Structure 1
């Protein structure tokens, strides 16, 4: 054994002299694990450990085979896309799960054996590797630091025993939906055959130990390059400009405001990849004081998904910090790969720390970035632009009201980051300005030019909203919001975040991370399930509409499907939604939106997700809608 260890964390990287397929899986065991994988545009995931919460570092041969096949398919595609010139170079990284290094070991062997170059950075956040690929991918073809693609090992917010992989090229995001579908087909075709297992075992064994050892030894160098590119890119996103002088002016204005408020932020890392990223340095550079908690990799203090009780420690730490220092206003908790981070904030009205709901955070970020776009336009004297917001189909309608106040248009797509990013890019090509996009249902804020969620960008949006004031006769973001909605008389210069939240359009919305939002269904045919749901809906609609009539009057409904980057009206053929999102929209007699019901099978977990969204903020309406909606799904499932 010649195990190599990471110099700064002292965690195992791998043994270049070991053979991952010293014991090969049988075709039957390989197939059993392969069929348990969830393959979607959001990534390829499975339970690589022995259970959901398994923290062992060694993996069985069936798991290693699946990882090798994933690498083999992506390597072949990358070679296929590469014209004559230097060999393709792949950035390889992972989050802090215990099974990550073993997966990286076997994937790296496949990449090297197929003739690719590998830049292995070990543990880093998902936005970090994507920024690295984006910036280094733009270098000249012959530049030694140029990258062609990235491979990131993570299962995002899933439990610690899960793992998976995300692939991308150099546009700063994961591969688009069509490319993902192609790779999934190639991954599945011929998988688990005895000859394929033998082929991949031989391929991994063909890599010389010294070549692998050199790749392992370069982790720190590659991490430094990744962190440098990520820092530069985060400045570009935060400053809303590619020009350094404009970045500096924007960041200086925000930093001065943060220092004036003596801002403090609690960063509860939960042992995630962000514990090794730029967070503390970048936020300190913006004038904030940062209190780091659970900031060692694998220092998992609670569930990985940053929802519900997983935010309790951050709330307690923020409360504790404020006892001695009232400047502490925010906290955040990232998931394991660090692309998502839910926000905790001090509520000045209630006098306590509370977690912002995912939909609430997204609405605030949309408000912040649209208001800041208008503020910058007014300061510069530029004419108005066509502005759009792109969100997933499960995002609350409150963003439509916010967008309307700034003359922006909301476009919706099927749930999945690749769909959101894909439509935003298509709209920009058609002349639209799309600064803010994401998945409101899970708190996924993406700020252009980023193409992936990032809690740092969410925090920066909130800081702009809370701290920036009038400048050169132009109102600050919050004042602009009140002015555009006819409420400027309510503005006070000493406003706080709670005042901003109170000003948001009131909606009651199901959190997709609540237990009642995740239904276990037996029917695997989503078309048949939705057809059955349609029959139940038509039977139950008169009773539901009568129950809502005292508060909303007579309601009408329409059904639509979200399929990739398209939204499509359905009439009564609910089955046409297939595996995409199905939404039932309710409108009043003025044709104003009142509520929607939404359903879709998860692309990352074995559940069927449902939710309701209703204007007015009355939780009783949301509960009534969701109860009927869930009952119809269950009835349709039983009928199959």
Structure 2
């Protein structure tokens, strides 16, 4: 077996390595080097005679092999540094449980073996920040490493070739620690997001992924009895990514929707494989199936988070952190609650770091929206969480007090219709579309083309619809008029007219090699698609001039 072509990015490392269970020696060696360099970086960030690190994985068949390689890398690095290693192996748990556990066990960091929403024959890993490492990691413990820190780690892992220490340490699940971690996570859900909805039924689809370990307990803690489907760990019933329609026009969530209809359930929720994403479907009062867009779900979660803040009586001003590709719908929801919106470059680490910054400045950062996929990071967490998407939907559909708070903020004097359908109806209207295209080789020259061409196109094609525009750039936690010096950063043309906003956003993906993402956002579908078409044209024009 030869080694895979590994994609190394600021959000993690992944490759197509097959269905295992064995992994190639080259891939084992690659995982070992990454883990070794990661452990060294953690001890540099927080020197101590004893290192605590948390290891976990999703149920992919190659997970055990990569976990063993990572464990050997961590152990060898600690041995070489003269540091005692306490490795807490949680086995199969969702990514949110793993990230909560880094804080629970006051660890120096952790490793999650997963390729998230990608197919089962792919696998990889993410690394977390640890306790007392603010000098290196501006993000809170349990968050992903910063882009800069991950960049240093990738360069080190590609440059060094440490020799494995012949240690008896392996990858063996610590069942007591695993139970403590899951119980802690479930308690967090119950304390902050439990609904008051007796008799409510919801359909929950873990699709054989990591959510199989917690979904039933989590939803019971949230106050409902879930109807579980596809919940045998490791047995995949459909595509891992539940967000998109298939080429034949059907949708991954169609089977979940049929079960929702048959059970007369409030809604259905499908997880990705590491359970940091959750996608919803519901049936309205007229019997029609709905699959809310990711940005609609983000707006719903934002409204719920702001209503929870208002109900809590917290005197701190509420704040929403939104990535630069987040729909203006979220901004309009925030404005209805008097909350300030702070923009950052797309990326989970940028969102959670800004949320922590705001908390230090006496804001209550109630929620962050992570990217074009609408992933949301709720207060008290450091990552997206599929279960919290379900918790938000429960509160939106069935918590009468919160629904009244939201109706008063978003549509004063208007009656909210029952269930999730009624809630989504009162959200501000806005449409957002995304496309993927080949990324240009020279981003700086490409942005030069955008900056020259967009004012001309605005004057000839968009000025009849929009009153004015400006152009901003984004890099990590900066969004503004100055172009960053980085290799990749976001470009965004913001469009304004009385009572409405929209934007065209383009950026090379930092998680998909060779891909540029284009997002068009506007109050109606036609205007949003016009902006996406314009983004496609701008990319084509820049390639023609290259």
Instruction: Provide TM-score, normalisation by structure 2.
Output: 0.90
Does 2:543 match 1:631?
no
Q: State whether residues 237 and 447 of structure 1, in contact with CA within 8 Å, keep that contact through their aligned partners in structure 2.
A: no
- One of 441, 445, 457 as aligned partner of 1:524: 441
Shift in CA distance, 124/578, structure 1 to aligned 2, threshold 3 Å:
same
- One of 393, 417, 422 as aligned partner of 1:499: 422
Tell me the equivalent position of 2:212. 275
Query: CA separation in 2, counterparts of 1:315 and 1:265?
Result: 15
Shift in CA distance, 567/284, structure 1 to aligned 2, threshold 3 Å:
same
Greater displacement, 227-236 / 390-399: 227-236
Query: CA separation in 1, counterparts of 2:365 and 2:393?
Result: 18
Greater displacement, 303-312 / 525-534: 303-312
Q: How does 1:65-144 map to 2 (within 5 A)?
A: 65-85=29-49, 87-115=50-78, 116-137=85-106
Q: What is the CA distance between 1:165 and its match in structure 2?
A: 1.4
Q: What is the CA distance between 1:605 and its match in structure 2?
A: 1.3
Q: What is the CA distance between 1:319 and its match in structure 2?
A: 3.1
Query: CA separation in 2, counterparts of 1:279 and 1:92?
Result: 20
Shift in CA distance, 443/342, structure 1 to aligned 2, threshold 3 Å:
farther
What's the RMSD between the two structures over aligned residues?
Answer: 2.3
Query: CA separation in 2, counterparts of 1:576 and 1:112?
Result: 38
Query: CA separation in 1, counterparts of 2:485 and 2:459?
Result: 23
Tell me the equivalent position of 1:612. 520
Ranges in structure 2 where 5+ consecutive residues have no aligned partner: 79-84, 132-140
Does 2:176 match 1:221?
yes
Shift in CA distance, 360/225, structure 1 to aligned 2, threshold 3 Å:
same
Aligned residues: 526
Tell me the equivalent position of 2:493. 584
Tell me the equivalent position of 1:542. 459
Query: CA separation in 2, counterparts of 1:66 and 1:405?
Result: 50
Query: CA separation in 2, counterparts of 1:187 and 1:559?
Result: 37
Does 2:14 match 1:59?
no
Q: Which has the larger radius of gyration?
A: 1
Query: CA separation in 2, counterparts of 1:100 and 1:576?
Result: 38
Shift in CA distance, 629/131, structure 1 to aligned 2, threshold 3 Å:
same
Query: CA separation in 1, counterparts of 2:494 and 2:541?
Result: 21
Q: Which has the higher helix share?
A: 1
Q: What is the CA distance between 1:320 and its match in structure 2?
A: 3.5
Shift in CA distance, 100/427, structure 1 to aligned 2, threshold 3 Å:
same
Q: What is the CA distance between 1:362 and its match in structure 2?
A: 0.6
Shift in CA distance, 65/499, structure 1 to aligned 2, threshold 3 Å:
same
Query: CA separation in 2, counterparts of 1:186 and 1:585?
Result: 39
Tell me the equivalent position of 1:159. 119
Query: CA separation in 2, counterparts of 1:444 and 1:622?
Result: 20
Q: What is the CA distance between 1:83 and its match in structure 2?
A: 3.2
Q: How does 1:170-569 map to 2 (within 5 A)?
A: 170=131, 171-188=141-158, 190-191=159-160, 196=161, 199-200=162-163, 203-204=164-165, 206-208=166-168, 211-212=169-170, 215-216=171-172, 218-238=173-193, 251=194, 254=195, 257-259=196-198, 262-276=199-213, 278-309=214-245, 312=251, 314-323=253-262, 325-326=263-264, 328-348=265-285, 350-377=286-313, 384-439=315-370, 441-469=372-400, 476-485=401-410, 487-491=411-415, 495-510=418-433, 512=434, 517-521=435-439, 523-546=440-463, 549=464, 552=465, 554-569=466-481
Query: CA separation in 2, counterparts of 1:531 and 1:635?
Result: 11
**Runs ≥4 in structure 1, deviation > 6 angstroms?**
none
Query: CA separation in 1, counterparts of 2:458 and 2:41?
Result: 49
Query: CA separation in 1, counterparts of 2:46 and 2:356?
Result: 23
Query: CA separation in 1, counterparts of 2:48 and 2:108?
Result: 13
Query: CA separation in 2, counterparts of 1:309 and 1:593?
Result: 29
Shift in CA distance, 577/478, structure 1 to aligned 2, threshold 3 Å:
farther
Does the residue aligned with 2:364 lie in a helix, a strand or coil? coil
Does the residue aligned with 1:150 lie in a helix, a strand or coil? strand
Query: CA separation in 2, counterparts of 1:207 and 1:292?
Result: 41
Ranges in structure 1 where 5+ consecutive residues have no aligned partner: 1-22, 24-28, 138-146, 239-250, 470-475
1:597-619 Cα shifts (integer Å, max 9, x gaps): 0011112112111110002xx21
Tell me the equivalent position of 1:19. none
Shift in CA distance, 594/79, structure 1 to aligned 2, threshold 3 Å:
closer
Does the residue aligned with 1:88 lie in a helix, a strand or coil? strand
Q: What is the CA distance between 1:59 and its match in structure 2?
A: 1.9
Shift in CA distance, 149/46, structure 1 to aligned 2, threshold 3 Å:
same
1:58-84 Cα shifts (integer Å, max 9, x gaps): 222222221111101111112223434
Shift in CA distance, 389/628, structure 1 to aligned 2, threshold 3 Å:
same
Query: CA separation in 2, counterparts of 1:440 and 1:461?
Result: 18
Q: What is the CA distance between 1:457 and its match in structure 2?
A: 1.5
Q: What is the CA distance between 1:270 and its match in structure 2?
A: 1.3
Does the residue aligned with 1:441 lie in a helix, a strand or coil? coil
Shift in CA distance, 416/158, structure 1 to aligned 2, threshold 3 Å:
same
Q: State whether residues 271 and 295 of structure 1, in contact with CA within 8 Å, keep that contact through their aligned partners in structure 2.
A: yes
Q: State whether residues 279 and 456 of structure 1, in contact with CA within 8 Å, keep that contact through their aligned partners in structure 2.
A: yes
Q: State whether residues 315 and 355 of structure 1, in contact with CA within 8 Å, keep that contact through their aligned partners in structure 2.
A: no
Tell me the equivalent position of 1:595. 502
Query: CA separation in 1, counterparts of 2:244 and 2:361?
Result: 40
